[in-house]
Structure 1
Amino acid sequence: MTSHTTGTRDDWLTARLSLLSREKELTRQSDELAAARQALPWVRIDKTYRFDTETGSATLADLFGGRSQLLVYHFMFGPDWKAGCPSCSAIADGFDGFAIHLAHHDVALWCVSRAPIEKLAAYKKRMGWHFPWASAHDGDFNFDFNVSFTEEQQRDGSIEYNYAKNRHAMDQKDPPETVKQGAADVGTTAPAYSLDRPGLSVFAMQDGDVYHTYSAYSRGLDSLWGMYQWLDRAPKGRNETGNWWKRHDEYPD
């Protein structure tokens, strides 16, 4: 017998209608937040960023592909890593499905990482993905948009991520268990793993100029996890202890 609260259909309907009222309010708040995001001031990008892509060198403006809006997912894949981040991989599993719809709504979607393009292309082939992925291996792009950091920042605790400064330097000899596990998952050291974080950066192009319009990090990316939107509606919710997910080709049959 279930340990969860049970009741009649009428009990359920009463509770469901109460919840529906709260869901509608959350939807209205979400609409208001979306409008507030779109109302943020734009910041013109005067720096020239160059990327390596599977079709050659490209600028930030080139990534728009003739569209006026660009979404960049900062995929955690450091230069010396053997594989991409499993969490980013879980998010990216949904990109192919909706990228074509975004493209037909004047929005380009790209992933950007610091790993060399050869590694990105090989991992993309392994995962069976088709969305475009660029390497910012030799540039400042990831650093300027606060998803990659230097070893000096790591040592002195001056990393700023998700609009807050990390005032504590990481213990190089005994890093947190979550960092150790993350490093093991991608085949690198804990210090090297900690130099890259996930994020979303958004850009607009107008009259030939590129503008930065929005960025989000950490749990600000929650809504991009397609699987979480489904789990939040499942009877047991996320029901998780630690990072339970794997790359989609690593689950047992």
Structure 2
Amino acid sequence: MTTTHATATREQWLDARLALLEAEKELTRRSDELARQRQALPWVRIEKPYAFDTEAGTVPLAGLFQGRSQLLVYHFMFGPDYEAGCPSCSMIADGFDGFAVHLAHHDTMLCAVSRAPLPTLQAFRRRMGWRFPWASSGGCDFNADFNVLFTERQQREGGIEYNWRREAPMPVAAKEPLAGRTVQEWRLRGEEGPVAQIASMTGTDVATYTRDRPGMSAFVLEDGVVYHTYSTYARGLDGLWGAYQWLDRAPKGRNESGIWWRHRDAYDAPAPTKAASCCG
């Protein structure tokens, strides 16, 4: 079968590649400038006494630094009513263990934070084979204050401001209850959408699932004082999603029309590949 994609000689390919290289270099320079702008943001002193459940016991926000001066928190979607962590967050977190070690030796602690009870988080971490620190914020306002937790009332009335934008109310009749609806009963824009597919992987309905949101926040500790320095949400997390960085360099790119990813232990076994024979 002949490919429908453009083909070229090696020399023609090299000309096109060098032209693309200039665009890539410009993107790199722009990315470096954005990083400088992030670091130049003013810091906000944390006044509220947050308390987190960790393997070392209950600790304040400063305790999550574990002796480092910088803390990167991944707001992992795992509410107290979830049966499993968000598969999208899980796919991102699959890359944490490798570089968390390097960050820890560069004065930077990486920690996931979720609302689910600590034993639930620990059980899911064992299932996934992860080792990075994971703290429970279920007993404090941390998630709400950093705009990754919203109430049923906010869902109903359109009071959610996530990623610095106000969302419309959930598409449900005013008198129809949100909580407790099953995925089968929920239809997004008239059909079961990708959010419902993801919610089903966490064992929740759409309304319950979407009250928690993903994000990342950065903090610094100076002279015993914790400051908030940066947060990002939604597509702002794209650069942390390691698998997508690889797919963006693959011949077919992301090549997706829906939710294709799963928890790492929930994929069907791949079909066996017939080994090529040198004898034909």
Q: Above 0.5 in TM-score?
A: yes
Could you say what secondary structure the match of 2:150 adopts? Answer: coil
Could you say what secondary structure the match of 1:137 adopts? Answer: coil
Amino acid at match of 1:149: F
2:193 aligned with 1:192: no
Gaps of 5+ in 2: 173-177, 179-184, 270-280
Could you say what secondary structure the match of 2:29 adopts? Answer: helix
Could you say what secondary structure the match of 2:228 adopts? Answer: strand
- Report how far residue 119 of structure 1 moved: 0.6
Could you say what secondary structure the match of 2:71 adopts? Answer: strand
| Aligned twin of 1:92 | 93
Could you say what secondary structure the match of 1:18 adopts? Answer: helix
| Aligned twin of 1:115 | 116
Q: Distance in 1 between matches of 2:170 and 2:250?
A: 39
- Report how far residue 38 of structure 1 moved: 0.2
Residue-by-residue CA offset, 1:133-157 (whole Å, 9 max, x unaligned): 0001121000000001111111111
- Report how far residue 175 of structure 1 moved: 4.5
| Aligned twin of 1:80 | 81
| Aligned twin of 1:142 | 143
- Report how far residue 170 of structure 1 moved: 4.1
Residue-by-residue CA offset, 1:49-92 (whole Å, 9 max, x unaligned): 00111221111000001111000000000101100000000000
| Aligned twin of 1:223 | 239
Q: Distance in 1 between matches of 2:65 and 2:55?
A: 15
**Equivalent residues of 2:50, 2:141 under 8 A apart:** yes
Residue-by-residue CA offset, 1:7-29 (whole Å, 9 max, x unaligned): 11111011000000000000000
Q: Distance in 2 between matches of 1:58 and 1:189?
A: 32
After TM superposition, the structure 1 = structure 2 runs for residues 119-130 of structure 1, keeping only pairs within 5 Å, are 119-130=120-131
Kindly report the root-mean-square deviation, in angstroms, between the aligned alpha carbons of the 2 structures. 1.1
**Equivalent residues of 1:154, 1:170 under 8 A apart:** no
**Equivalent residues of 2:82, 2:202 under 8 A apart:** yes
**Equivalent residues of 2:218, 2:228 under 8 A apart:** yes
Q: 1:241 aligns with which of 244, 257, 260?
A: 257
2:206 aligned with 1:205: no
- Report how far residue 179 of structure 1 moved: 2.7
After TM superposition, the structure 1 = structure 2 runs for residues 23-34 of structure 1, keeping only pairs within 5 Å, are 23-34=24-35
Q: Distance in 1 between matches of 2:122 and 2:52?
A: 14
Structure number with greater Rg is: 2
- Report how far residue 178 of structure 1 moved: 2.5
**Equivalent residues of 1:175, 1:190 under 8 A apart:** no
Q: Distance in 2 between matches of 1:181 and 1:252?
A: 17
Identity %: 64
Q: Distance in 1 between matches of 2:68 and 2:122?
A: 24
Superposition TM-score, scaled by structure 1 size: 0.98
Gaps of 5+ in 1: none
- Report how far residue 183 of structure 1 moved: 1.7
**Equivalent residues of 2:199, 2:206 under 8 A apart:** yes
Q: Distance in 1 between matches of 2:222 and 2:56?
A: 25
Amino acid at match of 1:9: R
Could you say what secondary structure the match of 2:231 adopts? Answer: strand
**Equivalent residues of 1:50, 1:136 under 8 A apart:** yes
Residue-by-residue CA offset, 1:152-196 (whole Å, 9 max, x unaligned): 111111001001111334424745222322221100122111101
- Pair 1:49–1:156, CA change in 2 (3 A): same
Q: Distance in 2 between matches of 1:249 and 1:178?
A: 20
Q: Distance in 1 between matches of 2:94 and 2:147?
A: 24
